[in-house]
Amino acid sequence: MACRISVISRHISSPPLEHLDDLGIRVAPEVRSALSSGVGVVALESTIVSHGMPYPQNFHTAQEVESIVRANGAVPATIAILDGVPCIGLSLAELERLAKLGTMVSKTARRDIPYVIARRGNGATTVSATMFFASKAGIKVFVTGGIGGVHRQGESTMDVSSDLTELGKTPVAVVCAGVKSILDIPRTLEYLETQGVTVVSYSTDEFPAFFTPNSGCKAPCRADSVEECADIIEASTKFGLSSGILIGVPIPAEHAAAAKNVESAIQSALHEAESRGIAGNSVTPFLLKRVNELTGGDSLAANIQLVKNNALVGAKIATALTTRLSRFTKSSCH
């Protein structure tokens, strides 16, 4: 007798991939096969490759992150725009090309997508653009380092990352180390609440602060296992909530940079950015680079470790989520 796919499994399963072909979005063979066969897929942004660190460190780190995803049962899908073509999943050669181009590649948020494509340019996707393309492909889990947020003095400058509005309207679970500590974390959490975003801390009551496990802000929700995280994503999907989910995974304590030193470096970098007139989407790359210099490399080392840890957790969540899809599909067969 034919299978009747349940409402839940229909919501969780990936949409047909033909519509991506029609849109001119290229899906890597490994990713296409995983999406078609129900294997967990983890989206990865590309700005961290082009703008996060120098070559060849960025290339090696990107390879290691993809390897961690595979080792934990899922398929990595690094997302970028190459020669005007949105790509979901990159070959090793494409990944190295992106790494070598570095900051010559356009940092691409949602608003920049039409411009980069129309000019047949190269774009490294930020959180918002990566979420957009991941959602188009039906990818439910996305791993990054940390998200953007409300900048310090944001109440005056109105400088709020598009990551937050994307989380409010795109149903993708973002696994990260919390909000970058160069930002205003309490106001960012308030903004996420306004956007209707479910915010979860992994195995802790405190929302993580990127370089360090502690922000001083209590998390709205807590999940103590990847299965609980998958349950939350499943429930959100089942009821058709159009907003995303933010899962904050604290950096392992042994890799955390000393909070006091990082905070001091952040304050110095903020004053320097202001005095030099650095604004807009140039602020975060400048601050991260300057903080790394001021901390003698400690912040970059912490950044790499937290991304790897996020990849491990994210891959396990994606695998747990697809296990639920398989269970629901089988239970609806007669």
Q: Looking at the annotation, which residues are catalytic?
A: 45, 180
Residues with Cβ within 8 Å of residue 329, at least 6 apart in sequence: 3, 5, 6, 9, 38
CA distance 279 to 265: 18
For every residue of 264-329, DSSP letters joined together read HHHHHHHHHHHHTT--GGGHHHHHHHHHHHHTTTHHHHHHHHHHHHHHHHHHHHHHHHHHHHHHHH
- Our separate counts of H helices and E strands in the chain read 15, 11
Instruction: Supply the Cα-derived Rg of the chain in whole angstroms.
Output: 19
Chain Cα centroid distance, residue 280: 20
Phi–psi pair at 250, nearest 5 degrees: -65, 140
Residues with Cβ within 8 Å of residue 196, at least 6 apart in sequence: 168, 241, 243
CA distance 191 to 203: 23
275 CB neighbour count, 10 Å cutoff: 8
DSSP state of 70: H
Beta bridge partners of 297: none
Length of the chain (residues): 334
Chain Cα centroid distance, residue 35: 19
